[in-house]
């Protein structure tokens, strides 16, 4: 066990300075699971002298703390331990550890489900009219099945309750455990005396239903954590630096965390950029899709700025580090995702608060019933029976099923639309969106580049030349030219020194002439570079002969075939539609005009996209973000709800609430319509569950209802909720279109 001094030294070791007066550390707290846990930890930390900021992320189960460096380092681990939670360094919460937690939940769920199924069969036999001896035997079998199952399956709740009680606080698991213990003890007592009614079926079903929710929560949080871990894998662990800036040969490898501004880096072919830097010497092609979302490599040379996580495709570069790993592009994106995840957790906190108010009220009513009956009747068994009846009949099974059962049915329906729902809580948020924000490339467009036009500026036959040059090339533009020129006869050219220069184009020699096909600044002679005539709506590739222009090829990314229908239906649903893209203004405006979208922004970096999403949501507008690139990650997480095409980057698929498996854009309005309908059904379910409890509780308190009838009533209320939710699987009658909102004002000006 760490001493207090050891804990302080550990905090000093893993913390970092974010300003001259503030230090920050992140600790993992794996035991948190509700809003009460969050408020307890944050209040304990904020009340610690010197601590300026404390924020718990429920999704990743981590807490970020900042404190004044002018004071001595606080013993933060000890503060969290005294609040009833175990704090460890984040590295200890490996993916294997998360898998272990999930396996424990699944095992407990499996045991509870097995026991519940068998006990319900025995209970049905008893309810069917078994004689006294048979009934007693079935009760004994029920006890033998349920008691060991409860010991194994409900330990998760008891451990959580004990951690709270031992530090003098309560959480939502405390009343759950009280109900489990009282109901089980009364059932054992009645079984021992040969009583006619026991309640093993009710208590094991309660545990089973609660474990379903906990297991799903654990799985979703593990997926969210995996997305951030996947982003971290793009960050190299080591960096090559020159130990002597004046010696180009002495290069050493150091941990990337030790790189500081001013270090001279060596960036080799095939490696990712470790930190943000500026090129001193050398030229290369860089895969910048992490930043811009565009797959076309970018040619860089001396003076250009590179961002961490981008991939060096071609040559070796020498660069000066401009930031540390935490302050570089990749570190900032990861930080934005973490912060956005913490903000999104408030939906779950609200749900936890509702349950935390409901459950103590129910147990207070049970205690009141027990006290009143004990006072007036003096019969301990009758008083306990009334108290247990109240606990059973008001068991929040129907209330607990109201949302999950609707989500399960909705998830099945969404799969029919080709939409995978990853976060059940997002279904409600999807039904509340008022705006849909699209990325352009790979989302509204297919990502399949095609040749738009070929303008020949001399008598030379440019298409056969271009077809021959592009034969065997890998660049998307070269493939588009080759596909387009299939109708032309196969040319015969004896090319010499043919080469494909990444990020620039194709170069080859034919006799004494040098032909180039690619970027204007590379293909043309410096005296010939005048690009004013180039249409800004399109991307261009120039064919040149000895540096003189021969032909101008323009390209466009094909619009998704169902994009117009998707946008039209979203507008009919009363939603505003916008484009937020990292691409240039020309292609973005072209897509916006084609789809009649008036609100758009071009050249948006990840932080800019995040800022715009937050701006929209600060105006009380729920936003659906649809994107596919890693550069969309922060905006996807910050948005109220997010969708990603199935062809999107692996990390964004992990981050998103929904994945479009079929890449069919019309599935988006289908999903929104289903989400709106599910919200109505959830509201009906909650009304039904609460109304049932309002009627049932007085009957239980007056002793009119026995525990057996209470168990039956509880089951009936659950069946009613399930039956109402099943209506979601039936088609909805078509409704007249609501008023249409299209972006006509406050348009985002393209930068």
Q: What is the CATH number of the domain that holds 89?
A: 3.30.70.100
Q: d(Cα 283, Cα 501) in Å, to the nearest integer? A: 12
Residue 216's pLDDT is 65
- The helix (run of H) or strand (run of E) holding residue 292 is helix 289-292
Q: d(Cα 4, Cα 358) in Å, to the nearest integer? A: 39
Mean predicted confidence (pLDDT) in 705-734: 71
Q: Which residue has the tokens 């009363």?
A: 574
Q: Angle at Cα 104 formed by Cα 100 and Cα 105, nearest 5°?
A: 120
Backbone phi, then psi, for 347, in 5-degree steps?
-60, -45
Does one domain contain both 581 and 621? yes
Decide if 286 contacts 311 (C-beta within 8 A).
yes
Residue 217's pLDDT is 59
For residue 572, which of 439, 445, 438, 669 has the smallest C-alpha distance?
669
DSSP letter for 224, please. H
Does one domain contain both 217 and 106? yes
Does one domain contain both 551 and 565? no
Domain with residue 585: its CATH number is 3.40.50.1000
User: Does residue 376 have a pLDDT over 70?
Assistant: yes
The 3-class secondary structure across 122-179, one letter per residue, is HHHHHHCCCCHHHHHHHHHHHHHHHHHHHHHHCHHHHHHHHHHHCCCCCCCHHHHHHH
User: Does residue 171 have a pLDDT over 80?
Assistant: no
Q: d(Cα 344, Cα 37) in Å, to the nearest integer? A: 16
Query: SS3 of 389, please?
Result: helix
Q: Which residue has the higher pLDDT, 260 or 170?
A: 260
Helices 173-192 & 200-232 angle (0-180, nearest 10): 150
Decide if 279 contacts 234 (C-beta within 8 A).
no
The tokens for 322 are 């401009």
User: Does residue 59 have a pLDDT over 50?
Assistant: yes
pTM of the model: 0.56
Query: SS3 of 501, please?
Result: strand
Buried b (16+ CB within 10 A) or exposed e, 274-304: bbbbebeebbbbbbbbbbbbbebbbbbeeeb
Least confidently predicted of 296-300, 398-402, 481-485, 546-550: 398-402
Does one domain contain both 200 and 127? yes
Quick one: pLDDT band at residue 544, thresholds 50, 70, 90? confident
Quick one: pLDDT band at residue 630, thresholds 50, 70, 90? low
Mean predicted confidence (pLDDT) in 538-552: 81
Quick one: pLDDT band at residue 628, thresholds 50, 70, 90? confident
Q: Give the strands of the sheet with 305-306, arranged side by side.
A: 251-255, 238-242, 264-267, 317-321, 277-281, 305-306
Residue 309's pLDDT is 84
Calculate the CA 111 to chain-centre distance.
30
Assigned domain for 187 exists: yes
Backbone phi, then psi, for 379, in 5-degree steps?
-100, 110
Domain with residue 286: its CATH number is 2.70.150.10
Residue 319's pLDDT is 92
Does one domain contain both 483 and 532? yes
Least confidently predicted of 54-68, 595-609, 689-703: 54-68
Quick one: pLDDT band at residue 320, thresholds 50, 70, 90? very high
Q: d(Cα 622, Cα 641) in Å, to the nearest integer? A: 8
Does one domain contain both 589 and 451? no
For residue 143, which of 166, 118, 179 has the smallest C-alpha distance?
118
Assigned domain for 313 exists: yes
Does one domain contain both 427 and 314? no
Does one domain contain both 61 and 112? no
Mean predicted confidence (pLDDT) in 177-204: 80
Does one domain contain both 439 and 536? no
DSSP letter for 486, please. G
Mean predicted confidence (pLDDT) in 561-585: 87
Q: Which residue has the higher pLDDT, 41 or 344?
A: 41
Residue 569's pLDDT is 93
Q: Give residues with Cβ within 8 angstroms of 731, minimum separation 6.
A: none
Quick one: pLDDT band at residue 396, thresholds 50, 70, 90? low
Q: Which residue has the tokens 């957790």?
A: 345
Residue 673's pLDDT is 92
The tokens for 386 are 């009334």
Assigned domain for 233 exists: no
Residue 298's pLDDT is 79
Quick one: pLDDT band at residue 744, thresholds 50, 70, 90? very low
Buried b (16+ CB within 10 A) or exposed e, 653-673: bbbbbbbbeebbbbbbbbbbb
Mean predicted confidence (pLDDT) in 533-561: 76
Assigned domain for 710 exists: no
Decide if 285 contacts 504 (C-beta within 8 A).
yes
Decide if 367 contacts 683 (C-beta within 8 A).
no
Q: Angle at Cα 568 formed by Cα 562 and Cα 570, nearest 5°?
A: 100
User: Does residue 748 have a pLDDT over 50?
Assistant: no
Quick one: pLDDT band at residue 148, thresholds 50, 70, 90? very high
For residue 418, which of 232, 658, 157 has the smallest C-alpha distance?
658
Decide if 156 contacts 105 (C-beta within 8 A).
yes
Q: d(Cα 645, Cα 627) in Å, to the nearest integer? A: 7
Buried b (16+ CB within 10 A) or exposed e, 327-340: ebbbbbbbebbbbb
Q: d(Cα 408, Cα 405) in Å, to the nearest integer? A: 5
Give whole-number Cα distances, 683 to 359, 579, 744, in Å. 20, 33, 34
Does one domain contain both 503 and 453? yes
Decide if 11 contacts 77 (C-beta within 8 A).
yes
Residue 566's pLDDT is 92
Assigned domain for 308 exists: yes
Q: d(Cα 385, Cα 743) in Å, to the nearest integer? A: 62
Q: d(Cα 670, Cα 628) in Å, to the nearest integer? A: 19
Q: Which of 629, 644, 673 is the last residue of a domain?
A: 673
The count of other CB atoms within 10 Å of the CB of residue 246 is 7
User: Does residue 449 have a pLDDT over 80?
Assistant: no
Assigned domain for 492 exists: yes
Does one domain contain both 27 and 126? no
Mean predicted confidence (pLDDT) in 198-207: 78
Q: Which of 225, 257, 280 is the last residue of a domain?
A: 225
- Where helices occur in 295-418 by DSSP H, the ranges are 329-344, 346-377, 380-393, 397-402, 404-417
Domain count of the chain?
A: 5
Assigned domain for 221 exists: yes
For residue 601, which of 583, 615, 618 has the smallest C-alpha distance?
583
Radius of gyration of the chain (CA): 32
Assigned domain for 130 exists: yes
Between β-strands 317-321 and 277-281, what pairing exists: parallel, antiparallel or unpaired? antiparallel
Mean predicted confidence (pLDDT) in 335-346: 52
Q: Which residue has the higher pLDDT, 340 or 255?
A: 255
Least confidently predicted of 260-264, 392-396, 513-517: 392-396
Percent of the chain with pLDDT over 70: 75
Residue 197's pLDDT is 74
Residue 19's pLDDT is 72
Arithmetic mean of pLDDT over the chain: 76
Q: Which residue has the higher pLDDT, 33 or 693?
A: 693
Q: d(Cα 325, Cα 732) in Å, to the nearest integer? A: 52
User: Does residue 669 have a pLDDT over 90?
Assistant: yes
Q: How many residues does the chain have?
A: 751
Contacts of 252-260 spanning 24+ positions with Cβ under 8 A: 256/325, 257/324, 257/325, 259/321, 259/324, 259/325, 260/321, 260/324
Q: Give residues with Cβ within 8 angstroms of 119, minimum separation 6.
A: 142, 145, 146, 200, 201, 204
Q: Which of 93, 128, 146 is the last residue of a domain?
A: 93
Kindly list the catalytic residues: 439
Does one domain contain both 259 and 212? no
Q: d(Cα 36, Cα 200) in Å, to the nearest integer? A: 30
Q: Give residues with Cβ within 8 angstroms of 236, minimum separation 6.
A: 256, 271, 272, 274
Buried b (16+ CB within 10 A) or exposed e, 352-367: beebbebbeebbebbe
Q: Which domain holds residue 325?
A: 238-329
């Amino acid at each position: 066990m760490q001493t207090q001094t050891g804990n302080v030294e550990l905090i000093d070791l893993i913390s970092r300075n974010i300003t001259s007066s503030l230090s920050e550390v992140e600790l993992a707290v794996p035991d948190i699971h509700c809003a009460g846990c969050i408020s307890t930890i944050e209040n304990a930390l904020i009340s610690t002298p010197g601590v300026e900021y404390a924020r718990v992320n429920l999704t990743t189960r981590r807490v970020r703390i900042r404190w004044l460096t002018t004071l001595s380092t606080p013993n933060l681990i000890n503060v969290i331990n005294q609040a009833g939670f175990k704090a460890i360094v984040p590295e200890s919460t490996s993916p294997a550890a998360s898998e272990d937690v999930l396996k424990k939940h699944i095992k407990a769920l499996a045991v509870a489900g097995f026991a519940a199924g068998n006990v319900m069969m025995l209970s049905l036999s008893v309810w069917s009219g078994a004689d006294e001896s048979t009934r007693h035997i079935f009760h004994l079998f029920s006890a033998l099945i349920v008691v060991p199952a409860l010991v194994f399956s409900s330990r998760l709740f008891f451990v959580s309750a004990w951690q709270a009680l031992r530090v003098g606080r309560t959480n939502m698991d405390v009343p759950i455990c009280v109900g489990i213990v009282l109901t089980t003890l009364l059932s054992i007592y009645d079984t021992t005396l040969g009583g006619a009614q026991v309640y093993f079926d009710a208590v094991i079903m309660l545990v089973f239903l609660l474990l379903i929710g906990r297991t799903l929560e654990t799985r979703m949080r593990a997926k969210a954590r995996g997305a951030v871990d996947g982003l971290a894998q793009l960050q190299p662990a080591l960096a090559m630096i020159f130990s002597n800036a004046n010696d180009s040969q002495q290069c050493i490898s150091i941990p990337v965390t030790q790189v500081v501004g001013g270090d001279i880096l060596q960036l080799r072919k095939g490696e990712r950029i470790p930190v943000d830097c500026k090129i001193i010497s050398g030229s290369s092609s860089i895969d910048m899709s992490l930043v811009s979302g565009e797959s076309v490599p970018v040619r860089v040379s001396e003076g250009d700025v590179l961002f961490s996580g981008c991939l060096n495709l071609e040559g070796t570069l020498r660069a000066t580090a401009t930031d540390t790993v935490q302050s570089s592009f990749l570190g900032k994106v990861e930080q934005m995702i973490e912060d956005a995840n913490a903000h999104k957790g408030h939906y779950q906190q609200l749900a936890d608060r509702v349950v935390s108010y409901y459950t103590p009220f129910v147990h207070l009513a049970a205690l009141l019933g027990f006290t009143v009956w004990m006072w007036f009747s003096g019969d301990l068994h009758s008083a306990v029976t009334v108290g247990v009846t109240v606990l059973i009949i008001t068991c929040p099974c129907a209330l607990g099923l109201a949302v999950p059962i609707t989500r399960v049915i909705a998830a099945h329906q969404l799969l029919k639309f080709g939409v995978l729902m990853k976060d059940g809580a997002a279904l409600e948020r999807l039904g509340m969106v008022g705006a849909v924000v699209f990325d352009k490339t790979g989302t509204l467009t297919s990502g399949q580049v095609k040749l738009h036009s070929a303008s020949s500026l001399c008598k030379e036959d440019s298409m056969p030349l271009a077809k021959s040059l592009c034969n065997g090339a890998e660049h998307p533009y070269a493939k588009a030219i080759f596909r387009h020129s299939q109708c032309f006869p196969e040319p015969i050219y004896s090319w010499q020194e043919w080469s494909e220069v990444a990020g620039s184009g194709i170069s080859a020699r034919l006799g004494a002439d040098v032909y180039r096909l690619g970027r204007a600044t590379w293909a043309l002679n410096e005296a010939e570079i005048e690009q004013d005539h180039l249409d800004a709506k399109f991307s261009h590739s120039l064919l040149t002969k000895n540096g003189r222009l021969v032909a101008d090829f323009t390209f466009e990314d094909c619009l998704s075939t169902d994009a117009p229908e998707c946008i039209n239906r979203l507008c009919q649903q009363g939603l505003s539609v916008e484009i937020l893209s990292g691409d240039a203004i020309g292609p973005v405006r072209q897509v916006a005009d084609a789809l009649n979208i008036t609100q758009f922004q071009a050249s948006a970096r990840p932080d800019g996209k995040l800022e715009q999403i937050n701006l929209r949501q600060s105006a009380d507008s729920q936003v659906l973000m649809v994107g596919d690139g890693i550069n969309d990650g922060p905006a996807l997480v910050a948005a109220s709800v997010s969708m990603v095409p199935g062809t999107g980057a692996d990390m964004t698929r992990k981050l998103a609430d929904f994945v479009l498996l079929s890449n069919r854009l019309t599935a988006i309005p289908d999903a929104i319509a289903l989400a709106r309908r599910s919200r109505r059904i959830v509201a009906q379910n909650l009304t039904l569950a609460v109304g049932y409890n309002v009627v049932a509780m007085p009957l239980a308190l007056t002793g009119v209802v026995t525990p057996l009838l209470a168990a039956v009533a509880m089951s009936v209320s659950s069946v009613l909720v399930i039956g109402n939710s099943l209506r979601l699987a039936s088609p909805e009658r078509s409704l007249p279109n609501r008023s249409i909102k299209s972006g006509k004002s406050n348009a985002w000006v393209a930068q």
